[in-house]
Amino acid sequence: MSFSLTINGTTHRVNEAQAGTRLLDFLHDTANLTGTKRCCGIGICRACTVAVQKAGNGFTEPMIACSTPLALLKGARITTIEGVATGDRLSAIQQAFLDHFAFQCGYCTPGFVMASEVFLDWLKTASVTEAELDALIENAIGDHICRCTGYIRYYEALKAVSRKMLEAKA
């Protein structure tokens, strides 16, 4: 039985033979979307993180594409790094990572961006105080590995965007 999933607003049909294919391979080899990076390939570094809203779920979650078979994504809406900017306009967190010089080689950056996008999307409606931000940010991106050790700057950038969002809600 074939099924469909949506990537950055485009619907893709997946046939039965592809059900065991990992999402990362499908993105690279079929959807021609190579911005999602393969690093460890075994679910540890989170470089391959994408945002997924599963069928029937009202929320979006970060998902590691290297370890997720398509069979788990029937009807899902997936956003990859290619779907974040609006034309030439970067998202708030993309711009903040640039402004904070958060990355060097940039290989881990798509994963940090996608996890941060999911976090910020959640933060829009969450009841959170500024004092809670550090722990929440740690939870959102603390498991991501950056071999260039940009951790602090990624944290600072995400905290700056998060604080602005909380201020705007106040």
Does 46 help bind ligand FES (rule: CB under 6 A)?
A: yes
Residues 90-149 interacting with ligand FES (rule: CB under 6 A): 103-108, 146-148
Cβ proximity to ligand FES, 18 vs 104, nearer residue: 104
Q: How far is CA 83 from CA 7, 22, 90, 133, 134, in A?
A: 8, 19, 10, 26, 27
Smallest distance from ligand FES to CB 28, Å? 12
Residue number with CB closer to ligand FES (14 or 113): 113
Binding-site member from 64, 81, 114, 137 for ligand FES (CB under 6 A): 64
77 vs 153, which CB is nearer to ligand FES? 153
Query: Read out DSSP for the chain?
Result: --EEEEETTEEEEE-GGGTTSBHHHIIIIIS----SPPSSSSSSS-TTEEEEE-TT-SS-EEEEGGG-BGGGGTT-EEE-GGGTSBTTBPPHHHHHHHHTT--SS-TTHHHHHHHHHHHHHHHTT----GGGHHHHHHHHHTT---TT--HHHHHHHHHHHHHHHHHHH-
Closer residue to ligand FES (CB): 22 or 54: 22
Least Å distance, CB 143 to ligand FES, is 9
Nearest approach, Cβ of 104 to ligand FES (angstroms)? 4
Shortest CB 154 distance to ligand FES, Å: 8
The contact set with ligand FES (CB under 6 A) reads: 38-41, 43-48, 64, 66, 103-108, 146-148, 150
